[in-house]
Structure 1
Amino acid sequence: MTDDPPNPALLPAGLSDVLPPEAEREAMLVEILAETFARHGYERVKPPLLEFEDSLLAGSGAAVAEQTFRLMDPVSHRMMGLRADTTPQVARIAATRLARIPRPLRLSYAGQVLRVQGTQLAPARQLPQAGIELIGAESAAADAEVAAVAAEALGAVGILGASLDITLPRLAPALLDAAGVEGEDRRRLARALDRKDAAAVAEHAGRAGGAALLLPALLAAAGPAEGALAVLAEQDLPPAARAIADHAAAVVAAVRAAAPGLRITLDPVEFRGFRYHTGVAFTIYGPGRVGELARGGRYLSGEEPATGMTLYPDAVLRAVPAPATRLRIFLGEGTDAARAAALRAEGHATLARLVPTDTAQSLRCTHELDGAGRLVPVVESERWPMSR
């Protein structure tokens, strides 16, 4: 007995086809995001899907090394990597192809990334990204700009009520350094902070002493930015930690000025998922329970200070209201070309009869023209459903 032939529609785990109308919605959404970026002076770059492994995983790219697919280039016989994140590629472009361009550089991008594994909550391994990178500026105003532009771009696609969560991934390490906490004691305290285990943080911090004693209060301070900043201002922070806190206060003030209606929260000791960030880090959440829509923050682009934000169009699509469906209008023989062009100019799709068997129903049209050239709805029950 022979095995059944494989189903040609079967795809590897974490990969999927995007069908109409979702594919068109995603493409249109990405272009709206890109247009918002462009209006703030961010110029678009388009890095390749594949690069040599040693350049792709250099610098901030090392943070996604475990998520990067690798393969041998049959031409050069060198190992290549398929990007798992676009930011490291933009950093390479800035350091090489655009090295002589005056700073700061404002660059944007949009494209797909592929990762070795998804997560339990987000199993997809191929993901769309769209984002901005501001390279060569080290200031609170630069950090605030990328956060405000990202929030504006989300507003442009219809997301209202988003919130910006600011974290300081270098603050807790600075306090542990000042307290001289190392080895297993440091790992235990980091795990307790990661789990938001207030009792364990208090226990381990009390044992460590010194600047570590500030951690319980900072853990409890997470919440609206003004309240968290007030707690930070009250603490006797060592110099390195004080500089981080003061910069965070300046960033919050700059974001408030640029985006007055944006809700801002601050978690001083959160550091999960920000392995290559060197300053403030950002996450933008949508209203309700739509989850994480964007992530970014300050990092090093080679040797240059940089800050940026990556938006996730697939998550954004789930958060925005579904737009009105584009009308699909059937054009029979002899339809006036000017009338058809006018319909397309209004944003509708026109589908012309090519063979005698073409009908409004077979082409899944929503409308057709009657004898007077007026739009007439096609009975929905007679239209063919999209194959899924």
Structure 2
Amino acid sequence: MMSNWLLPESLADILPAEARRIEELRRNLLDLYRTYGFELVAPPLVEYIDSLLSGTGGDLNLRTCKLVDQLSGRTLGVRADMTPQVSRIDAHLLNREGVTRLCYCGSVLHARPAGLLSDRELLQIGAELFGHAGVEADIEIIHLALESVRRAGVKNARVDLNHPGVLRSIVNEDPALAAVADEVCDLLSTKDVPGLVELGKRLPEVRESSLKALRDLTSLYGGTEVISRALHVLPSLPAVQSAMADLQALIDALPEFDFSIDLADMGSGYGYHSGVVFSIYAEGWHDALVKGGRYDGIGKAFGRSRPATGFSLDLRKLSSGLPAAPLARAIRAPWGTDPALVQALQALRSAGEIVVQALPGQVHDVDEFTLDRELVLENGTWQTRAVK
């Protein structure tokens, strides 16, 4: 018989000290986004599946838990990513003409964990900028993402860049590649050169120049010098040159940060992302802390095709790699209803102090406080003193 306290696989409780730190991170980052002019929105946890997955590709569909709405009989989805919902709000509800900056924070649920060490429930926080197609929006978003992890205490963060437009331009130049674009993405992401060679043998109609370009992509990773190498070895296509110019503009605009480039790392966003994509890595986390990029046109499914770029991260994952949260200082106070005691308690709490009253006959166990002071009655007045 299964114990009632067991949780489903890859789901976990968050205990007091960790929960406090996650909440402090949430408040800190949302306050940061507000200083940049981002407005907070809160979409629902569940909505109709056809709206939830509009314009997002097949990967999100596989990650989405589905259920039947008992009121309408239609299929609902528990959100696995809040970005499509925020895009719906921008395109359909706000319907603004100019630039719109929106931020959000809420739980998302994955049908399966993304990796061996991943959880299925994430506390996703992020920011999205709509209405500007220029690289300036990407610069602002990447700077804000880096400031987010810096505010959290992450040191020596590194940004990995890519631009799906490079691969898209190569595929568009060769009709024979279009039918196997997803397979090509998988082969590139694992840098499987023998697999690309086998693909050429299986599809003799694919041009040799296209196969060479794909093989070259697998070696185009490293530092910022990758941009000049790419311009030298890849086909001289306008889209390739434009993509390299965007990457260079980003790097030049943020000289204080450490960048790397991997033009073969397609991930799951080839059909979703339309421009610069990025991931932020740091020592202490087994995979990317932050993921983001440009996804122009996602709002088309909701009636308005808008330029869009943004990022998101999981606060639970972010917190898990940080040093142990320090205990909060607190005051121990006796139980009582004496008006003078009540007034002293109210004054301390109004001043921002944490005051824990000891209930009669009980020992108070705490995980996140250190009771380093106590409230005592001395000479007829309630005063705080250090615990000896």
Relative to the length of structure 1, the TM-score reads 0.84
**Within 5 Å, which residues of 2 pair with 1:329-368?**
329-332=331-334, 333=336, 336-337=341-342, 340-341=345-346, 343-344=348-349, 348-354=353-359, 356-360=360-364, 366-367=370-371, 368=373
For the aligned residues, what is the CA RMSD?
2.8
- Deviation per CA, 1:26-56: give whole Å up to 9, x if none: 1111111111111111100000001112211
**Against the structure 1 CA distance between its residues 180 and 212, is the aligned structure 2 distance closer, same or farther, given a 3 Å change threshold?**
farther
Aligned AA (2:257): L
CA separation in 2, counterparts of 1:193 and 1:319?
Answer: 30
**Against the structure 1 CA distance between its residues 204 and 249, is the aligned structure 2 distance closer, same or farther, given a 3 Å change threshold?**
farther
Q: Alignment partner for residue 227 of structure 2, among 205, 229, 232?
A: 229
* Partner-residue secondary structure (3-state), 2:289: strand
- Deviation per CA, 1:148-169: give whole Å up to 9, x if none: 1011011111112111111122
- Deviation per CA, 1:192-227: give whole Å up to 9, x if none: 3222134655786798422442344443231112x1
The reply to whether residue 276 of structure 1 matches residue 272 of structure 2 is yes
* Partner-residue secondary structure (3-state), 1:118: coil
**Within 5 Å, which residues of 2 pair with 1:1-388?**
6-60=2-56, 63-99=59-95, 101-182=96-177, 189-198=184-193, 201=196, 208-225=207-224, 227-235=225-233, 236-254=235-253, 256=254, 260-274=255-269, 275-299=271-295, 300-302=297-299, 303-332=305-334, 333=336, 336-337=341-342, 340-341=345-346, 343-344=348-349, 348-354=353-359, 356-360=360-364, 366-367=370-371, 368-369=373-374, 371=376, 373-376=384-387
Aligned AA (1:301): I
Moved beyond 6 Å, runs of 4+? 183-188, 202-207, 362-365
Q: 2:327, 2:370 within 8 Å by CA — same for their partners in 1? A: no
* Partner-residue secondary structure (3-state), 1:276: coil
**Against the structure 1 CA distance between its residues 190 and 28, is the aligned structure 2 distance closer, same or farther, given a 3 Å change threshold?**
closer
Decide which moves more: 156-165 or 167-176.
Answer: 167-176
How many residues align? The count is 366
* Partner-residue secondary structure (3-state), 2:93: coil
Q: 2:123, 2:315 within 8 Å by CA — same for their partners in 1? A: yes
Displacement of 1:241 in angstroms is 2.3
Decide which moves more: 159-168 or 119-128.
Answer: 119-128
Aligned AA (1:232): A
Query: Unpaired segments of 5 or more residues in structure 1?
Result: 378-388
CA separation in 1, counterparts of 2:157 and 2:6?
Answer: 37
CA separation in 1, counterparts of 2:320 and 2:164?
Answer: 29
Decide which moves more: 267-276 or 330-339.
Answer: 330-339
Decide which moves more: 23-32 or 67-76.
Answer: 67-76
* Partner-residue secondary structure (3-state), 2:242: helix
Q: 1:189, 1:205 within 8 Å by CA — same for their partners in 2? A: no
Displacement of 1:94 in angstroms is 0.8
Decide which moves more: 158-167 or 205-214.
Answer: 205-214
Displacement of 1:343 in angstroms is 4.9
Q: 1:211, 1:237 within 8 Å by CA — same for their partners in 2? A: no
CA separation in 2, counterparts of 1:267 and 1:345?
Answer: 52
CA separation in 2, counterparts of 1:375 and 1:345?
Answer: 20
